[in-house]
Structure formats: structure tokens, C-alpha cells
Amino acid sequence: MKIVIIDYGAGNVKSVQFALERLGFNASCSNDEQEIVEADKVIFPGVGEAQSAMAEIRKFGLDKVIPNLKQPVLGICLGMQLMCRYSEENDTDCLGIFPVDVLKFKVDFKIPHIGWNQIYGLKSHLLDKVAENSYVYYVHSYYVPDNEFSIASTDYGLLYSGAIRKDNFYACQFHPEKSGDAGEQILRNFINAI
């Protein structure tokens, strides 16, 4: 099985790659269109700021590639946000895979939201064998509101999407590669069960 982690200069590619290796899966990191299109599974991580990340994606021509992928794709953190239509972070047009907008947290809690929080309302094979109310690890200042594509929800002063799914596109706001047993199960499910 060919697993490709999209490397566009704004992703936590090595931590995802190492997490997969710990589970016995080999993955390559690439921004090459051919390699990405030919992969069996694609992981689209992201760390940083939406506008500069989208600029890198466009520089490599990946804004035309990613939305048209037919195999299972897993977005992680900023990767999830970039799969949406628009982000309030620096007024950024994103990839438009999910027809929802990414909003800035306006809550009385500490921002960015850093640390462990629970996911619940779990649906989708991506979350098979993950217990309701499992703790996962978050680092973010922007969020995707709970919506029709939500397959897991989290509460941080408001309800928002911990994970979303549309067709062959899956995404987690949290970092499965840093989320202990629950995160390992999610990565395993993505590779084996999706």
C-alpha cells in the first residue's frame, strides 16, 4: 500500500510519518502531483497560518490536485481547516472541499486552545474502536463550527467539529499523531478500514 503525506512546507510531516512507522506503516512525504495522485491513501497535515499555507499549496499547484483526489484523504489540524471554503485567519480562501467556513475562537477561555479535550458524537469508520469521550490533543486558535459533515464534536466554550467527513475526505482538528491510543486507532482505521 502506498501512503503519501503531502509536504508543502507547512505540515507536521515528520511527526505523522514517525507515528505511522510506529504502527508498522511506511509513508513517503511528497509535493509531487503524480506521486500524490497514485497513492492509495493521502494524509494532508498542517501547522501554522492559513494564508501562507495556501500560498505554498498554490505554489506547488496542489490547490488543483487535492480537491480532485479520489482515494481516501485525511486532513490534520490546519490541513482540516484548509479543506474548508474560507478561513477568517487573514481572510483566506481555502480549497473548498467542505462548504463551511473556519472561524476565530471568541470565547472566555485561553486561546490558542492547547491540550487535551474530549470528542463525542462519534460516527464514521474513521472512529471505529475509539471510545466516546476519548481525549485527543489540540493546538488551534480557529475552529470549524459543528455542521452536517461533523463526525466528532468537541466543546471549548462552544461546540465545534473535532472531525469532519465528506465522501472520500476525512479530517481531524486534533493531532491523531499526538493523541495517544485514540489517535493511533484513528490512524490505523484510516489506513486499514477506510
Active site residues: 77, 175, 177
C-beta separation of 156 from 162 below 8 A = no
C-alpha distances out from residue 108 to 4, 105, 118, 143, 157, Å: 39, 9, 19, 15, 7
For residue 191, give the H/E element and its range. Answer: helix 180-192
Q: Mapping DSSP to helix (H, G, I), strand (E, B) and coil, where does residue 170 land? A: strand
CB distance 81 to 93 below 8 Å? no
